[in-house]
Structure 1
Amino acid sequence: MLIPFLIPFVIAMFLAINMGGSGTAPSFSAAYGSNIIKQSAIPGLFGIMVFLGAIIGGKNTAYTVGKGLIQPELMTFTIVSVILISVALALLIANLFGIPQSTSQATVMAVIGPALYFNSLNTHKLLYEVLPTWFVMPIISFVLAFLIGKYIYKPIRKKGYTISKKLNDHFMFKGGILLMSMYVAFSIGTNNVANASGPIAVMAVNELNISDAYFLQVLILATLIVAPNFGIGSSIFGKKILRNTGKEIVLFGKVEAVIIAFISATLLLSASLIKGIPTSLVQLNVSAIIGIGVAKLGWKNIFFKTEVNRFFIMWIIAPLIAFLVSLLLTWGADSWGMINR
């Protein structure tokens, strides 16, 4: 019993490591690119802020992933393993194409698979809360970045106002960029940790016959297990990812990078705290980047680029893969008698 029970924990920790690696770039690329913080110090600070975000503001999102879309009693170690394996496969495919993908959307779609199979899907939560948030939030991110870029930042630059070297090197300016990096990491903690800790916590309650009254305590324990792996992922993958985001820093500069980070992190934090909706930081971040890019270079130069179109296509395909794999594995597990109903 112990080994099957531990399998979902191992998969969840593996996913957290990968999420931590990918989350390092939107969090600390501006601070690292500006030489404000050493690369060796980033994993620890990133891990701490993710952990604090998960503990302080991650409860609502964990409830949605673990209980809000599917009947909680179905979240056995078999189903949770199916969900997490499906997410891992979807992310692997996206990584092979070099497209940053939303773990949150892949997780939700993986949960929907067994929920549909057992006719236990909370369609109201999905159709009236989750899906609208997925569509609206990136649009808001794009619009805000576009408006700021076109009507505030670009006119200032046209008038010749630039950040002087003295201001650029001022400790308050550098401190602001570092605080923004920590803010993004905190927002990641409030949302992305729940992709693993939510299903794990519900599974533990079911498999160990723990009273539902203690779910919050179990969730905190699951978070204590999952969240530190974000820092480990940052330590393993962060250096390469931070170097790969150097072009983005050069293209946008410090101020624009801070604008992008603030918009995407604030929207992600809002989704976590208000409704507990698992939301894609990647999509919010890329939407803000595109918004700034359109303000600087125009619509045609951005939307007719092949890279942008590939992003949109993979954002649709990867969650669908997670859903189909999860549905297929659930059917297989049920056919082999691995699911008790």
Structure 2
Amino acid sequence: MSFYIPTIKKMYFVSDILIERIMPVEGQINVQPHSLVDPSTNLATCKISYEVINLGQKFIPSKKNITSFNQGDLVGKVHKNKFIAPFKGSLYQLENNYYFKSEEKDNWLLAGVWGEVLETSHNRSVLLKTQGMNIHVPICTPKIKSGELIVFPNPEKNLVLKYLENYVKTSIGKIIYVGNKITIDIVKKAAELKIDVILGGSADLEVYTFAKANDIGLGLFSIIGNANTPNNIFNFINEITNRYVFFYGDRGVLQIPMPAVKPEIKVKKVSNATKSSNLINQPFLKFVKKGLEVQIFEYDHFGKIGVVDRVGKSGILVRLYDGDEIVSVLPPNLVACE
């Protein structure tokens, strides 16, 4: 017996993507319209303070008319508590509040993508045209972030926390794939380390609720529950680990910048019999055969992913990635994954 099932495109190439790269303050733009860029291109430079300490309204400066201090200098005090400069910086007052900020340093705005400069604006932003691979993230919190993608190699659950702890000093600005299942301990550690976004195959509702309440970016490639990351997604992100990527939680998309190379398009030969059927030629339908990756939406195995083992008269037999169990499923309770 033959079956055709709907297809979900989990990964697809997109051209003519517009991305605006913005500096925190005005500075110097280093590129011109029509310039070609790659991820390491320095688009613009500005000077910013990376640390600011709020000293409050009751702060009393140690010296009048002196605003610059070296590390270790006495800056002033609040009541009887002295404030010693933790780094070289300056003191300033804004709306009756005193602040101490670190010495301004150069901040580079890197392109992060392959593409072309379309325009620049107000010595602060650069509009780029680029291309990339979009990965569908069906379950995610509405966070929008960009950063370096770090991929853990689907480790044992008890090793994930140790991996995270290794990134304590460099966790800010990271988007981290932690494995097939994100637990409550993992998402709490991510909050503690101020990780921008964590990705995984699945998670319990408790994890999603905690992430959303604590403004943590969370993206699941499968479902709320217990399911692995689709193999094609893991294999792809594992190959491009350490690349600068864009997470659009509001749209359910992880966008991976790609070089300007037109993706190979394979033309599949079809028989005259196949051509005669308009239904079979629909691009959203897939002929079920051995080895096809599918996702199940039947109650007992909802959201789980596996590959077709064989097609029988009683249904489609699917070998699940989770536990290597073979289950029988009938359309419309499953879809093909691309």
TM-score category by the smaller chain?
Answer: under 0.3
Rg larger in 1 or in 2?
A: 2
* Higher helix content, 1 or 2: 1
Larger relative contact order (Cα-Cα within 8 Å, sequence gap ≥ 6): 1
TM-score by length of structure 2 reads 0.22
TM-score by length of structure 1 reads 0.22
